[in-house]
Amino acid sequence: MPDLNFKDGVEEAASERSQLPKGWYKGHMLASYFQDFKNGNGVALVFDFQVDNGGLPRRIRSYNTWAHRTSPDAEKWGQVAVKQFLRACGKPEARSTEECHNLPIEILVEEGEKYNRIKSYRKVQPPVKEGVTLMTPSFGVPREAMVEPETVKQHAAKYEDDDVPF
């Protein structure tokens, strides 16, 4: 009889097809390719991502309009999204998307009508340390406590060396 070793935290309802809740997920791009629109009106640059869903890897696809026969705005926003992705990967001058395959990034996922949609990308944020974070105090002199050098000279001139009380 096979031994079933389930991972901790796996719920019955977890499915490859169920939508992820809105939020930032760590992940990486597995593949990238051009795909014609079904209506023949343009071309999309498609990214296949794998994101970490609490230990369960999930695949999400992003469509970025690359060429559109009737909408230059759609092309512009598709290319803006790709540039944002390249900056998040740390490769803003990349000449090919293959340079960004398997690099860790964070992906903002939103729920769509049927599927998750990718809204934004960013560099992987350092982990937040739990507990109290102590800020380093600033020991600078407040502006109102500063005294002009000329005022100090005038005040010091009032006293002779033997008159200083200490």
Q: Is the pLDDT of residue 95 over 80?
A: yes
Domains of the chain: total = 1
Q: Is a pLDDT exceeding 90 seen at residue 103?
A: yes
pLDDT value, residue 29: 92
- Looking at residue 161, its pLDDT comes to 59
Residue 93: domain span? 23-122
What pTM did the predictor assign? 0.62
Domain containing residue 36: CATH number:
2.40.50
Which of residues 35 and 6 earns the better pLDDT score? 35
Closest CA to 52 of 24, 32, 71, 87: 24
69 in a structural domain: yes
Residue 131 is assigned to a structural domain of this protein: no
Please report the sign of the dihedral spanned by the C-alpha atoms of residue 104, residue 23, residue 122, residue 49.
positive
pLDDT in tens, 21-59: 899 999 999 999 999 988 888 899 999 999 888 777 888
